[in-house]
Copies of this chain bind each other. A is one copy, B any other.
Amino acid sequence: MQMANLRINAERFNATLQSTCSKWGALAAPSTGMCRLTLSQEDKEARDWLVGNIFAIRKGADATKKKPIGMGSHMDTQPAGGRYDGILGVQAALEVLRTLHDNNVQTHCPVALVDWTNEEGARFAGAMMASGVWSTKSSTPLQACWDVRDNDAILMKTALEDIGYLGSTPCDYRENGLECHFELHIEQGPLLERANKSVGVVTSVQGMKWYAIRVTGIEGHSGTTPMCDRSDALVTASRLIAAVRDAALTTGLGVATVGVINSDTSSQATIPAGVDFIIDIRCSTDEMVDQLASAIFKAFDAITMEEGNGTAYEIKRTWGLPESQFHQTCIDSVRASALKEVNNDQIMDMKSKAGHDSAWTSRVCPTSMIFVPSKDGISHNPNEYTSPEHCALGAQILLQSVLHYDEQVHKGVY
């Protein structure tokens, strides 16, 4: 059999994707949404079913090639997420392994499926956590990740132990490396759909930074404190949050979002004295991220000066992912594989606007991603949807990308 003709089993693949989502972490019907928080019982059961570990390696023929070609993504979801973000990439990797097995394909390099832990950062703060640790390039090393607590004050390390996935294999690319890393993912935005394309060849991931803001004022009684005597932290925080959106729109530099807000007080009758929120800024380049951040904080200064009524704010950089350039060899493998399935006019080169585990792997091994369309651009939402045809198309391109890369390695081209 010609490797170029090797095809995934689209029906099996889509059926497995849907049935495992229904079993582990499905939101109540009729929603097809997901809540599979990292290291939860649902995540454990999905992992148990999958392989029993996050690296599932299929041997290759060439004993000199120790490092597998990686196919990675993540199986955890947002608290109200969908069935495709991350899950699609891992399921597609499984389908690739099944296809290789069913067809007795002997690759030169080993081939590995990788389920990266805590990509979402929704239960334990810090997105793309395990791939960041593995790459050793993240500012949060292993022990610091283990020390993160969820909202119930459970340590990440305890959660790993509780579901039996603490493991002893080093999470470090130098000891447990990959030849390269491919990731199939949904776009999570509207660009492919709007351009009427089927496949995105991903060339980079945009830069992003998170800033924790704390606004402080003076607590007071909601009935007895005259309006003109108030230092209301929530009013100021509100003006700042509106300014975050306004600055992103005005400058056109990228996107800026406040997803989380917390007020110190839980009393309706108290003027809030402390409010925390987090700004998520993402732009095509790191320089643009910094420019947008500057524009936002300039607006903050003007607001607190003119309308702050004695409130103040502090900024703390909490997390960031520098702009990531993917590797030309992997990009070429994806494009060549896509062209086998669809015409060139169905393919679009694109930057990823979301962070992905591939952003970290790209720092230590050749990496690229395959994007398939998201209906209405919706993601992080139970209504997230990608058609079975697009899922299968992505899985097929993932298979062929692996085989193409494997062939190039064998030929000594890469």
Q: Which A residues lie at the B interface, using CB under 8 A?
A: 78-80, 120-122, 125, 127, 151, 187-190, 206, 208, 210, 218-229, 232, 234-235, 237-239, 241-242, 244-245, 248-249, 255-261, 263-273, 275, 278, 280, 282, 352-355, 374, 377-381
Are A353's CB and B224's CB within 8 A? yes
Given the known interface contacts A187-B224, A261-B261, A354-B224, the answer about A151 and B266 at a Cβ–Cβ threshold of 8 Å is yes
Can you give 26 A-B contacts (C-beta < 8 A)?
Answer: A79-B265, A79-B267, A120-B269, A122-B266, A122-B269, A127-B268, A151-B266, A189-B223, A210-B268, A220-B378, A222-B280, A223-B353, A224-B374, A224-B377, A224-B379, A225-B255, A225-B377, A234-B258, A235-B241, A237-B238, A238-B239, A238-B241, A258-B272, A259-B270, A260-B265, A273-B381
Given the known interface contacts A263-B261, A380-B269, the answer about A245 and B235 at a Cβ–Cβ threshold of 8 Å is yes
Taking CB atoms, residues of chain B closer than 8 Å to A271 are: 257, 259, 380
Are A267's CB and B260's CB within 8 A? yes
Given the known interface contacts A235-B245, A377-B229, A381-B218, the answer about A223 and B267 at a Cβ–Cβ threshold of 8 Å is no
Are A242's CB and B238's CB within 8 A? yes
Are A266's CB and B223's CB within 8 A? no
- Alpha-carbon distance between A404 and B210 when the two chains are bound, in angstroms: 65
Q: Identify which of B187, B238, B263 contacts A238 (C-beta below 8 A).
A: B238
- Alpha-carbon distance between A227 and B275 when the two chains are bound, in angstroms: 24
- Alpha-carbon distance between A227 and B281 when the two chains are bound, in angstroms: 12
Are A381's CB and B255's CB within 8 A? no
- Alpha-carbon distance between A374 and B223 when the two chains are bound, in angstroms: 14
Taking CB atoms, residues of chain B closer than 8 Å to A261 are: 234, 261, 263, 275
- Alpha-carbon distance between A267 and B177 when the two chains are bound, in angstroms: 31
Are A380's CB and B189's CB within 8 A? no
- Alpha-carbon distance between A353 and B225 when the two chains are bound, in angstroms: 9
Q: How far is the CB of A255 from chain B (nearest CB, A)?
A: 6
Are A248's CB and B260's CB within 8 A? no
Report the copy number of this chain in the oligomer.
2
**With contacts A221-B354, A223-B255, A227-B249 known, what are 18 further pairs, Cβ within 8 A?**
A127-B268, A151-B266, A187-B224, A189-B226, A220-B381, A227-B245, A228-B249, A234-B261, A235-B244, A238-B242, A242-B242, A257-B269, A259-B269, A259-B272, A261-B263, A268-B278, A269-B280, A269-B354
Q: Identify which of B219, B241, B275 contacts A80 (C-beta below 8 A).
A: B219
Q: How far is the CB of A188 from chain B (nearest CB, A)?
A: 4
Taking CB atoms, residues of chain B closer than 8 Å to A224 are: 187-189, 353-354, 374, 377, 379
Are A189's CB and B234's CB within 8 A? no
Residue with the highest number of chain B CB atoms closer than 10 Å, among A268, A354, A377: A268
Are B282's CB and A223's CB within 8 A? yes
Taking CB atoms, residues of chain B closer than 8 Å to A275 are: 261
Q: Identify which of B79, B188, B237, B273 contacts A223 (C-beta below 8 A).
A: B188
- Alpha-carbon distance between A247 and B237 when the two chains are bound, in angstroms: 17
Taking CB atoms, residues of chain B closer than 8 Å to A241 are: 234-235, 238
Identify the closest chain B residue to A151 (Cβ).
Answer: B266
- Alpha-carbon distance between A242 and B258 when the two chains are bound, in angstroms: 16
Given the known interface contacts A121-B269, A190-B226, the answer about A380 and B259 at a Cβ–Cβ threshold of 8 Å is no
Q: What are the 10 tightest A-B residue pairs by CB atom distance, in nearest-first order? A: A189-B224, A222-B257, A238-B238, A223-B354, A238-B241, A188-B224, A219-B381, A221-B379, A224-B353, A122-B267
Q: How far is the CB of A250 from chain B (nearest CB, A)?
A: 10
Are A190's CB and B245's CB within 8 A? no
Taking CB atoms, residues of chain B closer than 8 Å to A210 are: 268
Q: How far is the CB of A186 from chain B (nearest CB, A)?
A: 9
Taking CB atoms, residues of chain B closer than 8 Å to A237 are: 238
Taking CB atoms, residues of chain B closer than 8 Å to A223 are: 188-189, 206, 208, 255, 280, 282, 352-355
Identify the closest chain B residue to A127 (Cβ).
Answer: B269
